[in-house]
């Protein structure tokens, strides 16, 4: 199918399975695994990835919004689903009927749910802000939260969770530990009040770093896709854990031409050829999610060799230097992320060149680009 496309994403099913097994082997028996498939499964294709990871045995799925949750239900996913983010009040009843669990992180939404007339109880996860400074109830809110949920007859306290602020860097473990101490106060209080929520705090980084804070469930996001959440964690676990990148992003060489030394390349004349050159055009640009920050410094792989991006990354095209690549021709595959022969360009490398993080690189790949599961 890829021969009919100008750009596409290939997803390696074997890599998904390998990464899933890696995390299952980390967890003690009885610990649930939540696969985070939010934001179009970090750019990997929401419904397809959710089906793959569900078949492998993930206990829970997590999404960003109610739209993603409904897409999964419509696609036939039966697994428990938790929505992390904001949900409009008008979707409370539908979430209840379709067994979609909602995050409750403020009193306004909690009171709204309690007052809503429901046919069946709605499952909720209480989120606690233990130090991230984002969504979540503060420590002082605990007594009032307990009063409200004990009175309610239409909610089921399914989960209780928090987000770490700096778990991606083991050097700041003391801050993470402080967050956990705050979180444990909530766990103890809920259990003393006869609630038995699934407690969860560890995302990819803390799941790999230590089993100390796995509690009842872990939430694995970026690393289920074969990417490390930070270079610090990668270094910390390098002798114990191997991950295999799941995503390959490819395009083609759509045009080749010879240009003389001194010829300008691209908008704003940001690059001038220093030699007689063979240049290639690839029909990919920042509209597709290829960062404009890679202008003049990004690289793609053609025939197992690196071809530098020349001049500006345009909306729908880039220009690459093919001078040293013998036999390059129109229609050749050009790898943006992935492997060609024995050469590889990783999402981390692209992120470093663009001065961002691998999360942003993969999640910003345009959703209209076809994902091909192989």
User: What does the alpha-carbon distance between residue 77 and residue 224 come to, in Å, rounded to a whole number?
Assistant: 18
Burial annotation 298-318 (CB, 10 A radius, 16+ → b, else e): bbbbbbebbbbbbbbbbeebb
Contact residues for 8 (Cβ-Cβ < 8 A; gap 6+): 1, 2, 249, 250, 251, 369, 370, 371, 372
Residues annotated in the binding site for substrate, as ranges?
134, 315
pLDDT at residue 4, as a whole number: 78
Choice among 32-36, 54-58, 116-120 with the minimum mean pLDDT: 116-120
Asked if 294 contacts 313 with a C-beta cutoff of 8 angstroms, the reply is yes
* % pLDDT > 70, the chain: 99
247-373 matches 31-227 in CATH topology = no
Nearest to 34 by CA among 73, 97, 83, 70: 83
Above 60 in pLDDT, residue 225?
A: yes
- Condensed to tens digits (0 to 9), the pLDDT of residues 136-183 reads 999 999 999 999 999 899 999 999 999 999 999 989 999 999 999 999
Nearest to 83 by CA among 67, 98, 101: 101
User: What does the alpha-carbon distance between residue 162 and residue 185 come to, in Å, rounded to a whole number?
Assistant: 12
User: What does the alpha-carbon distance between residue 26 and residue 63 come to, in Å, rounded to a whole number?
Assistant: 23
Asked if 240 contacts 233 with a C-beta cutoff of 8 angstroms, the reply is no
Task: List 272's β-bridge partners, or say none.
Answer: 264
Token pair of 282, please?
Answer: 């690839």
Above 60 in pLDDT, residue 197?
A: yes
The terminus-to-terminus CA distance of the chain in angstroms comes to 11
Model confidence band, residue 238 (pLDDT cutoffs 50, 70, 90) = confident
Residues annotated in the binding site, as ranges?
134, 315
305-310 and 318-321 beta bridge pairing: antiparallel
Can you tell me whether residue 309 is helix, strand or coil? strand
User: Average of pLDDT values for 234-263?
Assistant: 95
User: What does the alpha-carbon distance between residue 337 and residue 31 come to, in Å, rounded to a whole number?
Assistant: 33
Beta-carbon-side half-sphere exposure of residue 1 (alpha carbons within 13 Å): 10
100-104 and 81-83 beta bridge pairing: parallel
Chain centre to alpha carbon of residue 212: 24
Chain centre to alpha carbon of residue 294: 21
Whole-number average pLDDT of the chain: 96
The CATH architecture of the domain made up of 247-373 is: Beta Barrel (2.40)
The catalytic site residues sit at 38, 267
Task: List 83's β-bridge partners, or say none.
Answer: 63, 102
Model confidence band, residue 2 (pLDDT cutoffs 50, 70, 90) = low
User: What does the alpha-carbon distance between residue 312 and residue 270 come to, in Å, rounded to a whole number?
Assistant: 7
The owner of tokens 């770490």 is 164
User: What does the alpha-carbon distance between residue 202 and residue 209 come to, in Å, rounded to a whole number?
Assistant: 10
- Condensed to tens digits (0 to 9), the pLDDT of residues 278-318 reads 999 999 999 999 999 999 999 999 999 999 999 999 999 99
Asked if 334 contacts 252 with a C-beta cutoff of 8 angstroms, the reply is yes
Choosing among 3.30.470.10, 3.20.20.10, 3.20.20.100, 3.20.20.70, the CATH entry for 31-227 is 3.20.20.10
pLDDT at residue 336, as a whole number: 98
**Annotated domain spans of the chain:** 31-227, 247-373
Model confidence band, residue 3 (pLDDT cutoffs 50, 70, 90) = low
């Amino acid at each position: 199918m890829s021969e009919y496309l100008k750009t596409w994403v290939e997803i390696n099913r074997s890599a998904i399975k390998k990464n899933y097994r890696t995390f299952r082997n980390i967890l003690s028996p009885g610990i649930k695994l939540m696969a985070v498939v939010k934001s179009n499964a970090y750019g990997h294709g929401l419904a397809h990835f959710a089906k793959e990871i569900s078949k492998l045995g993930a206990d829970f799925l997590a999404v960003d919004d109610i739209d993603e949750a409904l897409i999964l239900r419509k696609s036939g996913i039966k697994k428990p689903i938790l929505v992390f983010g904001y949900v409009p009040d008008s979707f409370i009843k539908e979430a209840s009927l379709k067994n979609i669990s909602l995050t409750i992180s403020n009193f306004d939404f909690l009171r709204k749910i309690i007052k809503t007339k429901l046919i069946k109880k709605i499952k909720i996860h209480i989120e606690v802000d233990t130090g991230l400074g984002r969504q979540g109830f503060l420590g002082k809110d605990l007594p009032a939260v307990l009063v409200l949920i004990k009175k309610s007859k239409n909610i089921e306290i399914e989960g209780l969770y928090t987000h770490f602020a700096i778990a991606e860097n083991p050097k700041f473990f003391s801050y993470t530990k402080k967050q956990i101490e705050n979180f444990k106060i909530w766990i103890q209080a809920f259990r003393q009040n006869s609630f038995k929520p699934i407690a969860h705090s560890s995302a990819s980084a803390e799941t790999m770093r230590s089993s100390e804070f796995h509690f009842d469930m872990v939430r694995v996001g970026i690393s289920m896709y074969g990417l490390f959440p930070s270079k610090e964690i990668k270094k910390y676990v390098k002798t114990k854990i191997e991950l295999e990148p799941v995503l390959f992003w490819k395009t083609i060489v759509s045009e080749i031409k010879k240009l003389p030394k001194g010829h300008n390349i691209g908008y704003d004349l940001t690059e001038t050829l220093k030699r007689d050159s063979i240049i290639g055009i690839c029909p990919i640009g920042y509209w597709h999610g290829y960062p404009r920050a890679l202008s003049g410094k990004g690289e793609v792989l053609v025939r197992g060799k690196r071809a530098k991006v020349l001049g500006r990354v345009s909306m729908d095209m880039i220009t690459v230097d093919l001078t040293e690549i013998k036999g390059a021709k129109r229609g050749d595959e050009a790898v943006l992320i992935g492997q060609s022969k024995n050469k590889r360009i990783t999402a981390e490398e692209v992120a470093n060149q663009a001065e961002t993080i691998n999360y942003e690189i993969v999640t910003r790949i345009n959703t209209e680009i076809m994902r091909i599961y192989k």
